[in-house]
Amino acid sequence: MHNPLAEQTSNDTANQSVAQLPQVTETRNPGMALDLDWVARLQANTSAIERRCATLPARRSVKKEHQVAWLLKAVSCIDLTTLSGDDTEMRVGRLCAKARQPVNASVLAQLEMTGLTTGAVCVYHEMIPAAVRALVGTNIPVAAVSTGFPAGLSPLHLRIQEIKESVAAGAREIDIVISRRHVLTGDWQKLYDEMKAMREACGDAHVKAILATGELGSLRNVARASLVCMMAGADFIKTSTGKENVNATLPVTLVMIRAIRDYFERTGYRIGYKPAGGISKAKDAITYLALMKEELGNRWLQPDLFRFGASSLLGDIERQLDHHLTGAYSAGHRNPMG
């Protein structure tokens, strides 16, 4: 399929600055020593950030085949997730089948698209074996939430052990939750030490650090927590567990991805970003993708550096694709999650 996404204009200054960076590496972020001076210098101009984000949806409206290209890109970046107390192996199996074939085959055939899958399947620890079995023969990774998710208040040695057991069970990505109290009290050394220990426990599995941004008190705290987690070796930084009262927002996203850009410009290591919770509409997904493109460039539009933690988003994307092809929105039961 012709991909007009590649033709969309972007922030030339940001892209040029990224393109000209020396010694850029695609290897995994090893982390660095905690630089408290750098952390202390980080500030966040809340009013300016909110003004920038308020203008984005209107400025980045795309239609027709351009919209289709963006939506297919969004599908490839979804972490299809089930995190319910009544999860069963059967439910996880159905979710994995959806991850393998996220959009109706007849729709993809009309769009001349092949090989489309979601970015990952995300489950609780107990459901890892079922997910691994259901994804055999694919390259779709299993991600597991860990470390006392969603509160992160269990003893540290138990959180570390949980990570190790999830990796042993076959999880290739671990979504950990930080201790919010370290951010709220400004104890960056403790946050760094905790994050570093979790990164080490993950071994070869990539680690996404969930900041629970809705509970951190300020955008400045979000920026500083983002940087400290990256210094400690996080592969991704993620907004939310999806269980907080406030989850992913555009202002939080802008702060976090600019922290990612700062870290990249200083170290040459690319860190991924995952907004999670509250993103359920296709138009919102396009806005987030456009912001990533403007601030970080095309490289951050790939699933190894960007994910949506938003399973309900997939249903609305399917409806939009149906509308593009038929002129009518399909009923919800025609696009089941699993």
Respond yes or no: is residue 238 known to be catalytic: yes
Identify the active-site residue in 79, 175, 235, 284: 175
Per-residue tens of pLDDT for the chain, all 338 residues: 545 454 444 444 344 444 444 466 689 999 999 999 999 999 999 999 999 999 887 776 777 888 999 999 999 999 999 999 999 999 999 999 999 999 999 999 999 999 999 999 999 999 999 999 999 999 999 999 999 999 999 999 999 999 999 999 999 999 999 999 999 999 999 999 999 999 999 999 999 999 999 999 999 999 999 999 999 999 999 999 999 999 999 999 999 999 999 999 999 999 999 999 989 999 999 999 999 999 999 999 999 999 999 889 999 999 999 999 988 777 666 666 65
Of the residues 98, 196, 208, 274, only one is catalytic, namely 274
Q: What is the pLDDT of residues 294-318, one digit of tens each?
A: 999 999 999 999 999 988 999 999 9
Catalytic residue among 208, 238, 284, 316: 238
Is 204 assigned a catalytic role? no
Please tell me the pTM assigned to this model: 0.90
Domain range summary for the chain, segments of one domain joined by +: 29-327
Please indicate whether residue 98 is annotated as part of the active site.
no
The whole-angstrom separation of Cα 287 and Cα 56 is: 7
Q: In the CATH scheme, what architecture does the domain 29-327 have?
A: Alpha-Beta Barrel (3.20)
Q: What is the pLDDT of residue 7?
A: 45
- The pLDDT tens digits of the residues spanning 257-272 come to 999 999 999 999 999 9
- Tell me the average pLDDT of the chain: 91
Q: According to the model, what pLDDT value does residue 136 have?
A: 97
What pLDDT is stored for residue 26 in this prediction? Answer: 80
In one-letter notation, the amino acid at residue 278 is G
User: Which residues have a Cβ under 8 Å from the Cβ of 198 and sit 6 or more positions away?
Assistant: 147, 159, 160, 163, 174, 176, 207, 209
